[in-house]
Amino acid sequence: MATKPPSLKRMTGAMPVIPPRAARVPRASAFPLLPAAAATLLLLGVGQVALWWWSGRLPGVPAYTRLASTFAAAPSSSSVTPQAPRRAAPQQRLEAPPLEQNIQFGDAMGRVRVTVFTDPACGRCRAQVDALTAALPVNGVRQVYKFWPRDPHRTTPGLLVELARREAVLPPFWKLLQAQGDRDLTDTDLLQLLEKAGLPLDQQRAAFSQNSAELYGALVPDLATARNAELPPPPVVVVDNQILDSTRLTPAALAEIVQKKLDGRQLVREDPLWMMNR
């Protein structure tokens, strides 16, 4: 007798059921945000370059203002790391030899050296220094000027003086500075005076962009010397390495001290002016 073939249901029940293969799940990246961060940084970089390019061409913003902000971004004197201060005797002495970048007047071979740490943008400083040095003898006296800012975070005046020296326009620039009386000068004022002295604004911008590190490097030795000696705000007058108390200094007293030095006499406590005490 013929047998009936097993039904499909029975056959299915008799055979093992093989589950379908699970889909492969991609492995999570250890740095899931890296592509997005890289793209963001790239966009920021492109945007910054575009901003630098466009800021030099912004309509309605004076060129002096734009360049002044560039100079203001330079390192400040407060970034100069001072050495450990040296506590000295009551008559404080300071070794501050003339440097190539210092402004110098008078007798180059003079026996007496008058060194002035000052800020050319400070109106009170310019007026006081002009009054103090007006009565100094011409023969035998060498005057040396070093940059020491009234605001430790502002180095633009020193940078522009150094730029004027390198571009051979320092004499007219210095003369224009002295002609400004006792008013304080902004960075924009200084840039305009430098242009009047013979250095166009475009050349100022190009020189600073190419030599900013060298310009600031020329200021560092004097800034470090002044900070290490813990000098007070400018102006500070030093006669042959002896720091004078500028708060009590008068033109007559300075002239007397310089004359004593020219005559070979030593300064003593009984002089009209004491040395700056610690």
Question: What domains sit in the chain, N to C, each tagged with a CATH number?
Answer: 91-262 (3.40.30.10)
pLDDT, greater one: 102 or 49: 102
pLDDT at res. 92: 74
**Mean pLDDT taken over the chain:** 79
| pLDDT of the residue at 247 | 81
Q: For 37-61, what is each residue's pLDDT tens digit?
A: 555 655 555 454 444 444 554 444 4
Strand partners, 141: 112
How far apart CA 226 and CA 148 sit, in angstroms, is: 7
